[in-house]
Every structure is written in structure tokens, then in C-alpha cells.
Amino acid sequence: MGKTGEEKPMHVVVRALAVLNHLSSYRQGLTLQQLHQQLEIPVGSMHRLLGTLEHEGFVSRSPTTKRYVLGANAVKLGHSDDYEPFLIQPPAALLEAERLLGETVVLTQLIDGRVVAVSIAGTKRPLRLFVRLGQEVPLHAAASARAILAYQDPALAEALLSSFPRPSFTAGTVRELNRIIDHLALIRERGFDVCDNELDEGVWAVSAPVHSGPAGRVSTAVTVCAAWSRVADPAERAAAARVVLDTAQRISREQGYDKPFAADPGVAELTDLFAGDAAAHGLPAGRAPRVSGVRAES
């Protein structure tokens, strides 16, 4: 027992401080369930606690990932100027890709079964994109998501694709689950994915996976998005694809991956690939080639 007259700490305050202290170590945030399990606070109590902290600006909840991170008031209170949630500043490799191509470059990440755009190196060139910073991208219709899904356990990839709606964004959106799953094998074979007017009308995109650690785990992808008219020629698409592959490989090396890359086509091979896909669909060079069993995708 404490000294006479000594007050016991208020239980709810202790819990609130525990939540804030715990979140300070997780820049990507934590879900309610994760906080409940890690801090051993009942789910109902944790839900009420987070609601109060969010209302007062001490935590913030992402509408896409459903994760909680420190809010503006908590950051200001702690003078943690370098604190960031799951959104990150574009790494040097991403900025270099944007400089080389003059096109928008996006870094996406798999977070709690959803693929989110966590960093964007933008461009002043005109481009109307579905994807915005911090936004969740559709698993079935974006190469930036499929380039990640292709390297997950097949059962997990199928479960994720089955768990979410697969709406049509354009006339070219592929929605059939079996076709998308078959397409994931093609991504692994080629080492990249492409999107041609499937998610955004008039937008072409190419995406490559980032391999992390010695095991080469994939949870991130690099994507270049461009207006279709600016990359109509197979050679232009090949150049963009090669920059994406180089960027993804550079980030992979920075994240500790030291093995050869299974698919590593050169520019000439990529040019032939894009031209061949165009010819296979009865299109002249420079006319919407498709680089997949699905449509050339984003």
C-alpha cells in the first residue's frame, strides 16, 4: 500500500498514456486489434479510449488501412518533428526515376491486406490519376497492387482478391478472378506488370516488385504512370519499364536483398515484347499494346 493520502494513478489515464507511448514506436500505425493484443486492454475499452484520443487529436485513424497513428496534438506535445505515419518522403531512387522519365512515380505497400500509395514523386506534366497519396488502390485493376500480389502465397492472393469488390473502372478492367490469378503467374515470369487504360482512361503504367531482406519478401512495388500518348511507341514503353525495374532493384538492394533477380529483361528484349504484344492483338506499333494475359495494366 502507498503512503497515507497518496492517490493511485487513474486507470484510464494510464491506459491512454500506454497507447500513445506504444504508437510512438510504430510509424506505420497499429489496428485496434493489434493494440488490444499488444497492450492487453479489452477491445471495448480500447475502442472507447481510441475514440476519445482521436476526438482530441492525439491519435489519427487512416480511412484506408484502418490503422491508428499519433495525431497532430501528440506529435506537437512531444516535439517529434521527425515522426511520420505510414506515408513517407519519396526515397532517392523514386526521385531519380521521376527525373529520368519526367513522369509520376508511385511507391505502394501492402498493409493489412490492402495496397496503399505510401509515396509519390510527382510531375508537372498533365495526368489524371485514380491514385492519390495515402489512397488504397484496387487489387484487381492496378499493376501497383498486382505486382505485389503476384509474389504472395497463392492462397493469400486469392483470398484477398475474393475479399474485396472488383468493380469496372473502364471498359478494359478485368474482373474475373481466374483470369487475374492466371495473370499473376505472368507477372512473376516477366518481373513486372503493365496497365493500359484499365484503371484510368488514357493512362499507361508499369510496375515492378521490391524484394526485401535475404528472403526477398515482397510488400512494396514501384510504378511509373504516364499519359498513353506519351508512351505510345514500344521503345518508349520499354525505356519506362527498364527504369522501373532498375528503381525496384535499387531499393531491393538497399533493403538487404542480395540475390539475382529472376526476371531482368534488357531494353531490346522489352521493346520486342511490347511490339510483339501489339502485333499479337492486330495493332500497329504505337497502338495500345497489351503486356499480359489480362490487359496491359497499371
pLDDT digits (tens, 9 = 90+) for 131-159: 677 788 999 999 999 999 999 999 999 99
Give the residue with greater pLDDT, 244 vs 111: 244
Contacts of 254 (CB under 8 A, 6+ apart): 91, 93
Domain boundary among 36, 53, 78: 78
Does 181 share its domain with 258?
yes
Residue 298 pLDDT more than 60? Answer: no
- Total domain count for the chain? 2
Does 157 share its domain with 63?
no
Q: What is the C-alpha separation between 91 and 177, in angstroms, rounded?
A: 34
Residue 213 belongs to a domain: yes
pLDDT tens digit sequence for 46-59: 999 999 999 888 88
Does 217 share its domain with 71?
no
Does 128 share its domain with 221?
yes
Does 107 share its domain with 67?
no
Residue 297 belongs to a domain: no
Residue 122 pLDDT more than 60? Answer: yes
Tell me what pLDDT residue 86 has: 62
Please check whether residue 115 is in contact with residue 222, taking contact to mean a CB–CB distance below 8 angstroms. Answer: no
Does 109 share its domain with 46?
no
Does 48 share its domain with 116?
no
Does 141 share its domain with 254?
yes
Residue 285 belongs to a domain: no
Choice among 60-69, 114-123, 225-234 with the minimum mean pLDDT: 60-69
Residue 110 belongs to a domain: yes
Does 122 share its domain with 264?
yes
CATH of the domain at 123: 3.30.450.40
Residue 3 belongs to a domain: no
Residue 293 belongs to a domain: no
Please check whether residue 162 is in contact with residue 183, taking contact to mean a CB–CB distance below 8 angstroms. Answer: no
pLDDT tier at 8, thresholds 50, 70, 90: low
pLDDT tens digit sequence for 78-101: 544 444 456 678 899 999 999 999
- For every residue of 182-238, DSSP letters joined together read HHHHHHHHHT-EEEESSSSTTEEEEEEEEEETTTTEEEEEEEEEEEGGGG-SHHHHH
Per the structure block, which three cell numbers stand in for 208? 515492378
Per the structure block, which three cell numbers stand in for 141? 485493376
Does 27 share its domain with 112?
no
pLDDT tier at 9, thresholds 50, 70, 90: low
CATH of the domain at 67: 1.10.10.10
Q: What is the C-alpha separation between 250 and 280, in angstroms, rounded?
A: 33
**201-232: burial string, b at 16+ Cβ within 10 Å, e else:** eebbbbbbbbbbeeebebbbbbbbbbbeebbb
Residue 289 belongs to a domain: no
Which candidate, 122, 120, 116, places its Cα nearest to that of 144?
Answer: 116
Q: Which domain holds residue 51?
A: 11-78
Does 48 share its domain with 96?
no
Does 57 share its domain with 96?
no
Choice among 125-129, 206-210, 237-241 with the minimum mean pLDDT: 125-129
Give the residue with greater pLDDT, 15 vs 27: 15
Strand partners, 68: 30, 61
DSSP H/E element including 45: helix 43-55
